[in-house]
Amino acid sequence: MGNRMEQKSVVVTGGSKGIGRGIARVFASEGAKVLIAARQQDVGEQAAKEIVDAGGTASFLSVYTGNWKDVENMVQTTVDRYGGIDVLCSNAGIFPSARVEELTEADWDAVSAVNLKGTFLAVKACLPELKKRDGGRILLTSSITGPITGYPGWAHYGATKAGMLGFMRTAAIEFAKDKITINAVMPGNIMTEGLDDIGDDYLRRMEQSIPLGKLGEPEDIAYAMLFLASHEAKYITGQTLVVDGGQTLPESMDAVS
């Protein structure tokens, strides 16, 4: 265990599994007190228990980030348990697949509520506590899908991930006077539970499109966020960091064959 986040209080939305779980583990391993905020109680409590069993500090709270009362309670609970908030990792996101022709208004609203509105609400709710710190940090989990690339079935998802970056750039200007930075990490294909059922053949094709030859791990995203939350990144705000193994670089598959 390191100490880069020693005694820092960190909120990780969507921290019960996948990338969020990796973020929670890495920040806790560096000394942070982590609140895992997610909807699935059993999975979230298990994620927190794993951190505690490894010698870290973590707890779980059931939160739906698309609801203002839930995120208000998230902030108050973090203050009660850990004395304030130093870092918000706004990571909660959903990605149900539906092509535009089949996409319903309800589908669009559900994804937007968690991914985009949820980011806004979490940031807004945490802001008063972050202002009390000498250099609060806000970290967003965006994606290469939407801001850089597209993929059939993810028009609604891509729109929210691109929208997060538009929100971030103006927020960075507004928050600068309070020494709060806000930055986004843009993952490529990361090996998480969400990919368990897609099959080995598809995974191999995905790997072949990545210059580094493999899918990323949740910790790859977490360590990028750890840097952006650190003192060393105090002069970085409103920026994006692509963590994709080079996936967005080739003009075609010929370039990586």
Q: What is the pLDDT of residue 195?
A: 67
Q: What is the C-alpha separation between 47 and 60, in angstroms, rounded?
A: 8
Is 3 a member of any domain? no
What would the pLDDT profile of 66-117 be if each residue is shown by its tens digit?
999 999 999 999 999 999 999 999 999 999 999 999 999 999 999 999 999 9
CA–CA separation, 105 vs 91, rounded Å? Answer: 23
Is there a domain that residue 236 lies in?
yes
Position 20 in a domain: yes
Rounded to an integer, the average pLDDT of 172-187 is: 98
Residue type, 178: D
- Residue 1 domain-assigned (yes or no): no
Assigned domain for 93 exists: yes
State yes or no: is 223 an active-site residue. Answer: no
Query: What CATH number has the domain bearing residue 62?
Result: 3.40.50.720
Tokens matching residue 58: 């973590």
The pTM assigned to this predicted structure is 0.95
- Going through 202-243 in order, the beta strands assigned E by DSSP cover 240-243
Domain count, the chain: 1
pLDDT digits (tens, 9 = 90+) for 15-28: 999 999 999 999 99
Quick check: is 227 in a domain? yes
Which pLDDT tens digit goes with each residue over 192-251?
876 666 667 778 888 988 999 999 999 999 999 999 999 999 999 999 999 999 999 998
The residue range of the domain holding 206 is 9-244+251-255
Residue 2: inside a domain: no
Which is catalytic among the residues 157, 202, 223, 235?
A: 157
Residue holding tokens 């790997």? 207
For residue 43, tell me if it sits in a domain.
yes
